[in-house]
Amino acid sequence: MDQTSSNHIEETLDPDDWAAIRTLAYKMVDDAALRLSDLRSQPAWQPMPDRVRDYYTSDVPVEPTPLDAIYDDIATKLMPYSMGAIHPRF
């Protein structure tokens, strides 16, 4: 929250560190391009390990989670086990 005057507090969803957001966004784009460019050499499907399956049945976080931690979960617990037909051999 920013205090813009003595009696008005502005609430915002803007991140505290725009540079960190840009860095993470570039990483996401790079990871997506790498995944697609390397897709042909990866298996068309792989089973989801129990530890990853357990993650999806656990309670959702109550407290805020840093954006980079959320992306790490997506990159390691979702993307490798996608159900979509994007693989050339699917």
**Structure tokens of 76?**
């390691």
What sign for the dihedral angle of Cα 23, 26, 28, 30? negative
Q: What is the reported pTM?
A: 0.75
Cβ neighbours for 10, distance < 8 A, ≥ 6 positions apart: 1, 2, 3, 4
Summarised one tens digit per residue, pLDDT across range 24-83 is 999 999 999 998 898 888 888 888 899 999 999 999 989 989 999 999 999 999 888 876
Among residues 47, 73, 72, the alpha carbon closest in space to that of 58 is found at 73
